Amino acid sequence: MKNLIIIVFFILFGFPLIAQEKGEVIQVCEGPSYDYKAKKEDLIKGEDYVYKLVHKKAQPQEGFNVFFKDLTMSIKEQLGDKIKHPLTLKYIVIKIRFVVEKDGSLTDMTILEDKLNLANDVFNIINMKSKWKPAEFENKIVRMHFTLPIKIMLD
């Protein structure tokens, strides 16, 4: 009998109630309605805000294919003597996050993954060798957090 009462209780009160009129949902009773148009101003932040989601992401001027090809070659040339690895290591993974500024420069680097302590050198190579197109949000150039995973195959 207790099980039956519990089941009935969950059936009656466990699902959100929806008021309908002529096939339209008027209000969901589990929370207030949300006016997206009125909240649009809240999406547009101040000039110094660093966006994570944008309409057009920041990217290297030359495109990602050329960027990664050049980056891999530069890392192997400039950091080859720093890369000491066991014979079983097939590749290096470095993950960094930085801010692409409105002028395309890169700042505020954060290391997310780096087992061989190469991230600072890699960031310096990226900063010296590449120019970036800034991100856009609402047709305005904005600052953007960019997470860059780098996988370098070893010979």
Phi, psi of 71 (to 5 degrees): -65, -45
Predicted pLDDT at 151: 87
Predicted pLDDT at 107: 92
pLDDT digits over 36-82, tens only? 454 555 555 677 888 888 999 999 999 999 998 998 888 888 887 77
Among residues 54, 62, 37, the alpha carbon closest in space to that of 140 is found at 54
pTM for the model stands at: 0.65
Same domain, 60 and 79: yes
Domain containing 56 equals: 45-153
Same domain, 24 and 63: no
Average pLDDT estimate for 91-119: 90
CATH classification at residue 146: 3.30.2420
As for how many domains the chain has, the answer is 2
